[in-house]
Structure 1
Amino acid sequence: MQNAPPPSSAALLLWDVFCRVIDNFGDIGVCWRLCADLATRGHTVRLWVNDASALQWMAPGACQGTWPGITVRPWEQSTDAAQLARLPRADVWVEGFGCELTTEFIAAYVYSTKARDTIDNRNPVWINLEYLSAEAYVERSHGLPSPVMHGPAKGWSKHFFYPGFTAATGGLLRESDLLARQHAFDLPGAKAHWLQGLGIDWAGARLVSLFCYEPTALEGLLQQLDSEPTQLLVTDGRANHAVQALLARRRVDGSPPWHKLQIHFLPRLTQHEYDHLLWACDLNCVRGEDSLVRALWAGKPLLWQIYPQDDDAHNAKLDAFLDMLAADDNLRGAHHAWNDTRPAPLPLMNLNSWSQTVQLARQRLLQMHDLTTQLGQFIAEKR
């Protein structure tokens, strides 16, 4: 089912969403999508973030307050008692990916006369929004309370909210207009027009997007893509640097040039424009969490580079995702080669088979309520 806006009788709430940017902008990407989706549904959101620089290109105007219903606030203001005293209290607190609220922020609410004397003296519903995984523990942990054992809010409870791929989880972020936007992009001429806006002339060649870290199988991928006319659309950042480094090494080594592969280096894209990139391409190489979800909604063959962890915990997470997809041996082998989890070269990719697999998974996932809808229902129950 496609998202539907909440009924007119649904309570419209004030949300405080907290995000600490660690690296790679995945945290801020997911948190911003949630904030934007909440605001579109009529809620009011304050996004507290330690580094909002990525929003300048991800969501232009966000930091300047031009997105209705959303205010972006510097993290350090959450420790300023004078600033906090002037703000209306929120109905919901969301800790993005386990970032912890500052003690000063919690204390400003707990000890405020305003909070105690208000007619509606319910405590905010406190959510720990977790990372996405297809592993079995997600279903077991989703929705569980976590008692606060110390500090100003001692005796309260947070609740774990897990995104996921089954009905026993919190689902995936999916805006109510996403399918309609994708349908409009699929109309004749729309893709070519969008590519032309990026300075890319397209006459029907295979299109591949590349958003990655530094996969050791990168050269093997590009060798395969050179088997037929292909235009590789490389995102800005680490993917750009990885390809540039590979090209420089090949020049030094005297490697022969590719004949059918044309490489385009893209500027930084807004979140909406990144959706367009995924819809345009015949294969999407994605990384992390946010782009994986968007690639699933795009419904095109995908190759996911998972965020590597020192203890190799990402291996089990990758296998769980492939199990969820019902991936065949070819798709599994490609993912393990791309993630360097098994000592084998990248197999010859069967994109037709991959397309069927992703389409079936997409159809299953569309039957679930999206994350924002489920989160709203969860909040209503706890209030």
Structure 2
Amino acid sequence: MHNHTHTPHWDIFCAVVDNYGDIGVTWRLAKQLAKEYGLAVNLWVDDLASFGHILPALDPKCPTQTFEGVCIKHWDLPLSQDYQPGEVLIEAFACELPPEVLCKITKAHQAGDKVPVWLNLEYLSAEDWVEGCHGLPSLQRSGLKKQFYFPGFTDKTGGLICESDLLATRQRWQESEQRLNYFTQLGLSGIAADDTVISLFSYETASLEALCQHWSQGKQQVHLLVPIGRSLNSLATFIDPQQDLAPGQRFCHGKLAIHLLPMTDQQGYDRLLWSCDVNIVRGEDSFLRAQWAAKPFIWHIYPQEEDYHLIKLEAFMALYCHNLAPEVADAWKALNIGFNQGSQEALLPLWQQVITAHAALTQHAQKWPDEAINDADLATRLVQFVKNS
């Protein structure tokens, strides 16, 4: 038995997919583990340029840099920086670890040295099967054991990412009515206190054009806040995609004003969600932050083959709506399904039903976070899981 020492730290490997989703989740987790648990965390990322969109101070050309207590390392091929095994090794979303890392932990295992607790952090799902798969081990050919860590909404899963002070901070923000000042800070103009404000961070869908047409012809002034990105591909009727677009620009069509947002860091995006009346979000990270914002939302889930994403959507909606009045729940669920299917005409009466029930949906959304946390957030459960391993 060898007794080599190793640096006490955690390593998280993240391959950036779809620009912001995977890195959004792992960056939040790494920050929380460093801040609330005092852990030394290395976050290995293959695409620093995309990461820089949500961490503007990041230098995409610098191979090693530290922010908020987290050491961010460039994951290049072949791996040019030395990996030293720590306490925990997380591959986020089955990203496949670099050969150099697998080789090093395999050699340590064969030599009888201590090896990290090896986890695959999976995607979030509300489906029933998650409880049975959470924590399951997978024995590798090398003899090493990898365990599957599933985030989820029940006490038999890995929990949800939520910083310890987040909900209280959000409540103070909303009670102090800072939203108009925040819109001004973002360079947005012409938004009155009684206007309807909607944030948009979705994939391409025909549903957007239908809703924008509806909003433009309505009686209530609507402001749609959109970062420059994929959502704009569905708004060509309202914004000429050929022109030079810049944050702060505003496009007015009847009662609809479309505002282009500057890219912001994660704290800024949280404040945006807290400040809007309705949030249209996508993927996993923004989907979860919309829930913590305690506002009505539409989830544009990542499309999968044979419409499997709709099964995931249905599973979440069943959980989210179980304490909601049936007529409100039915309208909200139908709106989400219609938006994901690219519905157009069918979407408009559903939108009206949801807006009519806005007060009831907001009240429900305010109660949901405490219920969803289930006594412990993901980082807390993860640290305990590692101790038990």
Aligned equivalents of 1:221 and 1:213: distance in 2? 15
Aligned equivalents of 1:44 and 1:349: distance in 2? 49
Is contact 2:206–2:344 with CA below 8 Å preserved after alignment? no
Change (3 A) 1:246 1:349: farther
Aligned equivalents of 1:362 and 1:349: distance in 2? 24
232-241 or 275-284: bigger deviation: 232-241
SS in 2 for 1:291: helix
1:73-102 per-position Cα deviation (integer Å, ceiling 9, x unaligned): 22226634xx42xx5431100010011112
Aligned equivalents of 1:339 and 1:349: distance in 2? 17
Structure 2: gaps of 5 or more residues:
1-6, 242-251
Is contact 1:337–1:344 with CA below 8 Å preserved after alignment? no
Partner of 1:277: 272
Is contact 2:159–2:373 with CA below 8 Å preserved after alignment? no
The within-5 A match list for 1:300-339 is 300-326=295-321, 328-339=329-340
126-135 or 318-327: bigger deviation: 318-327
Partner of 2:163: 175
Partner of 2:215: 225
Partner of 1:51: 47
1:145-193 per-position Cα deviation (integer Å, ceiling 9, x unaligned): 11112xxxx1111111111111111111011221232133224352222
SS in 2 for 1:122: coil
Change (3 A) 1:366 1:112: closer
Partner of 1:7: none
Aligned equivalents of 2:130 and 2:148: distance in 1? 10
Deviation at 1:108, TM superposition (A): 2.2
Deviation at 1:15, TM superposition (A): 0.9
Give 2:362's match in structure 1, choosing from 346, 349, 355: 355
Q: What letter corresponds to residue 268 of structure 2 in structure 1? A: E
Aligned equivalents of 2:371 and 2:172: distance in 1? 22
The within-5 A match list for 1:137-176 is 137-149=129-141, 154-176=142-164
Give 2:261's match in structure 1, choosing from 263, 266, 276: 266
Deviation at 1:344, TM superposition (A): 6.3
Is contact 1:325–1:358 with CA below 8 Å preserved after alignment? no
Is contact 2:201–2:282 with CA below 8 Å preserved after alignment? yes
Partner of 1:122: 114
Partner of 1:213: 203
SS in 2 for 1:128: strand
Give 2:182's match in structure 1, choosing from 194, 215, 218: 194
Aligned equivalents of 2:34 and 2:228: distance in 1? 28
Aligned equivalents of 1:349 and 1:122: distance in 2? 58
1:343-375 per-position Cα deviation (integer Å, ceiling 9, x unaligned): 862122422343244334323114431101100
Aligned equivalents of 2:8 and 2:35: distance in 1? 12
Partner of 1:21: 16
Deviation at 1:13, TM superposition (A): 4.9
Is contact 2:54–2:266 with CA below 8 Å preserved after alignment? yes
Give 1:374's match in structure 2, choosing from 353, 362, 381: 381
- TM-score, length basis structure 2: 0.84
1:291-315 per-position Cα deviation (integer Å, ceiling 9, x unaligned): 0100000010000100001232111
Is contact 1:39–1:69 with CA below 8 Å preserved after alignment? yes
Aligned equivalents of 2:8 and 2:25: distance in 1? 20
Cα RMSD for the two superposed structures: 2.4
Structure 1: gaps of 5 or more residues:
1-11, 250-256
Is contact 2:154–2:374 with CA below 8 Å preserved after alignment? no
Aligned equivalents of 2:237 and 2:104: distance in 1? 50
Is contact 1:62–1:71 with CA below 8 Å preserved after alignment? no
1:220-279 per-position Cα deviation (integer Å, ceiling 9, x unaligned): 222443431121111221113322455449xxxxxxx74222111101111111101100
Partner of 1:298: 293
Is contact 2:207–2:342 with CA below 8 Å preserved after alignment? no
Is contact 2:206–2:234 with CA below 8 Å preserved after alignment? no
Aligned equivalents of 1:66 and 1:131: distance in 2? 26
SS in 2 for 1:61: coil
Q: What letter corresponds to residue 219 of structure 1 in structure 2? A: E
322-331 or 162-171: bigger deviation: 322-331
Give 1:203's match in structure 2, choosing from 185, 188, 192: 192
Partner of 2:341: 340
Aligned equivalents of 2:20 and 2:319: distance in 1? 26
132-141 or 59-68: bigger deviation: 59-68
223-232 or 325-334: bigger deviation: 223-232
Is contact 2:205–2:342 with CA below 8 Å preserved after alignment? no
SS in 1 for 2:295: coil
SS in 1 for 2:48: coil
- TM-score, length basis structure 1: 0.85
Q: What letter corresponds to residue 170 of structure 2 in structure 1? A: Q
